[in-house]
């Protein structure tokens, strides 16, 4: 462990020398916005890099999906990604991954066995599949297990999109086990912290709330006209944007229905309206990869809807800058990084009033929260921002201020404090046992 003396009272904060980060089902090297890659990838990447800058080495364990992937890749100085063979060298659905957890766990334990005991000081698992692996590795290595759920099955099942599949009982039980075994649980918001306690029986003292951050160097304001020119959008267009995985949970269809409703009310907008959808199919969306395009046709708005594949960071920032409003209509979000990224670019957000979005978006200040998924409600909210320049300018200015309250440096500091708390508790337990 690294002992850092901080503050005038010289309190001892124990930071780990090396952290094993578990991310079974998706790699931080993957492009967010398609497959299973999303906000969790962004979270792991930025917090790992920030920890390395503080002298904490990070090794991310993820499942190998190609025989061409190297066993170990460097994500950044001080951050390694270990590709663990577990099952076929191809992407697998999350429902197929539990069968590969034994092989994945074996690979994680084997990697540690090549080093002296005590090589890893702490395990941070992400998503319940990783928590199952972390639970066993924690017991084998005698180190603390910190777990971040990112999404919770019981919460998702309580707010399913129409036609979406509920999360299986296997996952619910798996999450309950991980919650019971983790030394610390990291929640993105106070709402998620309460859900862990109320729905999963987590001990309140083991739940730490740590808000995710945003890359304030990449997501910055810029010229809307320039962004539109580079994306091939008309300068005078009314641009409503969606960025994220194309699946029922993220509800991009809500934006399309709202756009159709808006055109019914104001048909003169058809010449200027652009609905920009950025992302690729994921989850249950893979079952009907063309469903959103077909919906645009059935609603008679195919000529105003433009689809783009997932975009890398700087290009995604251009999408946010080009938009008059960014829509986040999800049925559930543990936080909503897209909302924060858009606001950091100075673009107001209209979001569903669910999960962590009321933290990511300040209602009436940096954007609007919509309490339903009805097309009429969404059309009214989007129009009240996009079609009112003065109101939009006010929200845009406040959005920038709101987003700057969040940073990955701040998130990482809070995570390291959580790691220290878990380490102190485990050390005290060992001392008690020794006595």
Return binding residues: 25, 31-32, 36-41, 94, 127, 151, 171, 245, 250, 311, 320-321, 323, 333, 341, 347
Q: Which residues are annotated as a binding site for Mg(2+)?
A: 320-321, 323, 347
Strands (E), 346-421: 349-352, 367-370
Place of tokens 């097309």: 375
* Sign of the Cα pseudo-torsion (338, 419, 61, 409, in order): positive
Report the distance separating Cα 362 and Cα 349, nearest Å. 9
- Binding-site positions for UDP-N-acetyl-alpha-D-glucosamine read 31-32, 39, 245, 250, 311, 333, 341
Q: Burial of 269 by CB count in 10 Å (0-12 exposed, 13-18 middle, 19+ buried)?
A: middle
Asked if 100 and 146 touch (Cβ cutoff 8 Å), the reply is no
Structure tokens of 137? 């590795």
User: Under the phi-then-psi rule, with left for phi > 0, alpha for psi from -120 to 50, and beta for the rest, what region is 210?
Assistant: beta
Look up tokens 């309580």; give the residue.
Answer: 158
**Contact predicate 189/359, CB 8 Å:** yes
| Tokens 């020119």 found at | 229
Residue 83 near residue 63 (C-beta atoms within 8 A) = yes
**Of residues 264, 69, 343, 94, the one with CA closest to residue 60:** 69
115/59 Cα distance (integer angstroms):
13
The tokens describing 288, both together, are 């009907």
- 17 CB-contact burial (10 Å; exposed 0-12 / middle 13-18 / buried 19+): middle
Residues 11, 390: Cα–Cα separation, whole Å: 50
3-state secondary structure of 11: strand
d(CA 155, CA 134): 23
Bind-site residues for 1D-myo-inositol 3-phosphate: 25, 36-41, 94, 127, 151, 171
CB atoms within 10 A of CB 5: 9
Three-state SS for 305?
strand
Pair of tokens at residue 149: 């759920």
Beta bridge partners of 351: 328, 369
């Amino acid at each position: 462990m690294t002992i850092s003396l901080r503050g005038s009272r010289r309190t001892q904060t124990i930071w780990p020398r090396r952290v094993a980060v578990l991310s079974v089902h998706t790699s931080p090297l993957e492009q967010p916005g398609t497959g299973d890659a999303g906000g969790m990838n962004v979270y792991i990447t930025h917090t790992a890099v920030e920890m390395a800058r503080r002298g904490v080495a990070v090794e991310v364990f993820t499942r190998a999906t190609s025989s061409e992937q190297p066993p170990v890749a460097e994500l950044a100085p001080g951050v390694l990604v270990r590709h663990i063979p577990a099952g076929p060298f191809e992407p697998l659905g999350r429902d197929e991954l539990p069968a590969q957890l034994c092989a994945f766990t074996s690979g994680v334990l084997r990697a540690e066995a090549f080093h002296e005991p005590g090589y890893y000081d702490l395990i941070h698992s992400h998503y319940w599949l990783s928590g199952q692996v972390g639970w066993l590795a924690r017991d084998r290595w005698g180190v603390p297990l910190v777990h971040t759920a990112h999404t919770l099955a019981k919460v998702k099942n309580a707010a399913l999109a129409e036609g979406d599949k509920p999360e299986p009982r296997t996952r619910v039980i798996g999450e309950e086990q991980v919650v019971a075994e983790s030394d610390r649980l990291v929640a993105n918001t106070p709402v998620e912290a309460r859900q862990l306690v109320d729905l999963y029986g987590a001990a309140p003292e083991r739940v730490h709330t740590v808000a995710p951050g945003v890359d304030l160097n990449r997501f910055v304001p810029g010229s809307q006209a320039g962004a539109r020119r580079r994306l091939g959008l008309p300068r005078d267009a009314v641009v409503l944007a969606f960025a994220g995985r194309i699946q029922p949970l993220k509800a991009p269809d809500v934006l399309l229905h709202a756009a159709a409703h808006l055109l019914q009310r104001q048909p003169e907008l058809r010449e200027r309206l652009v609905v920009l959808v950025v992302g690729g199919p994921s989850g249950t969306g893979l079952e009907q990869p063309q469903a959103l395009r077909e919906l645009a046709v059935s609603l008679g708005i195919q000529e105003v809807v433009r689809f783009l594949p997932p975009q890398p960071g700087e290009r995604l920032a251009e999408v946010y800058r080009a938009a008059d409003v960014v829509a986040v209509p999800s049925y559930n979000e543990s936080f909503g990084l897209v909302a924060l990224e858009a606001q950091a670019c100075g673009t107001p957000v209209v979001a569903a009033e669910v999960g962590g979005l009321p933290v990511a978006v300040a209602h009436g200040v940096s954007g609007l929260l919509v309490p339903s998924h009805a097309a009429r409600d969404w059309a009214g909210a989007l129009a009240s921002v996009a079609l009112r320049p003065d109101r939009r300018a006010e929200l845009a200015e406040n959005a920038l201020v709101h987003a700057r309250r969040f940073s990955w440096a701040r998130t990482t500091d809070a995570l390291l404090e959580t790691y220290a708390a878990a380490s102190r508790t485990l050390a005290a337990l060992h001392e008690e046992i020794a006595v």
